[in-house]
Amino acid sequence: MERRQERAGDESDDIVSRLGTLLADMGGHAGDVIDWRRGSDWIAVRSRRAGRVFAEVRPHRHRIEVFILPRAKDLRDPRGLARRAPPTQGWGWFRSRFDILGERDLGPAVRLIRQSYALALHAGNGRNRRRPRRTQSV
């Protein structure tokens, strides 16, 4: 935790705090609880109802880096914040990333995270949901 606090600036901490409140409200409206699991450099945002992480937040001194589940091309993103995430980030689950640079990016960021939350609720806990293969009968 100390390492994260050294890296993040005061403005980033304030925005992360507001983001946590907004996402908790979002979960409450959906009858869900949104948990924040803090690591040394990241915060995993998890839905209890979906049973999975749907966003990862990484506070830095002058920006907040966010990783989400949907692909950038599948998002409703009028500001064009989302970009393709490197496959090495977020255990390969997260397909998009974007930065929150200040207060003005908070609203669009919440809209993008909400889309990731909806995907998590729809897709479940990330396990493969394909139907079992048909076996050929002789």
Top-level class of domain 2-123:
alpha beta
* pLDDT at residue 134, as a whole number: 52
Three-state secondary structure call for residue 29: helix
Query: How does residue 8 score in pLDDT terms, banded at 50, 70 and 90?
Result: low
* pLDDT at residue 124, as a whole number: 61
C-beta separation of 99 from 62 below 8 A? no
Q: What are the boundaries of each domain within the chain?
A: 2-123
The long-range contacts involving 125-133, CB below 8 angstroms and separated by at least 24 positions, are 125/50, 125/51, 125/52, 126/52, 126/93
pTM for the full predicted model: 0.82
What's the rounded Cα separation, in Å, for the pair 80 and 111? 12
